Amino acid sequence: AQRVTQPEKLLSVFKGAPVELKCNYSYSGSPELFWYVQYSRQRLQLLLRHISRESIKGFTADLNKGETSFHLKKPFAQEEDSAMYYCALSDSGGSNYKLTFGKGTLLTVNP
């Protein structure tokens, strides 16, 4: 069974500080990993996916198959980054892209 673990429920940093949101997964096949974000009073939306290898809003995430991790990083946090972040895993072998979510990490960036 696939599982996504986000060990931190809450993470608080000061503006300008580096931030890392941890995500570990367990999956027997070849997974696709995503980070979704939910800003206050807004719907869930995609932040980035590992296959794109892109940086969105200054965030990056590298898939480490050896450590089964997909941590989200940003070198200098901004107040507008405050949101709920969910790591998610999709069965790449399936055509439905059913997502399994972690429990989420609430990031607060203080001024």
Residue numbers of the site for another protein (CB under 8 A)?
32, 34, 43-46, 49, 51, 86, 90, 92, 96-104
Q: Could you tell me the smallest distance in angstroms from the CB atom of residue 83 to another protein?
A: 14
Tell me how far CA of residue 40 lies from CA of 27, 56, 87, in angstroms.
Answer: 31, 19, 17
Cβ neighbours of 95 (radius 10 Å): 6
Cβ proximity to another protein: between 39 and 76 the closer is 39
Cβ proximity to another protein: between 15 and 101 the closer is 101
Residue 43 corresponds to which tokens in the numbers above? 């719907």
Cβ proximity to another protein: between 71 and 90 the closer is 90
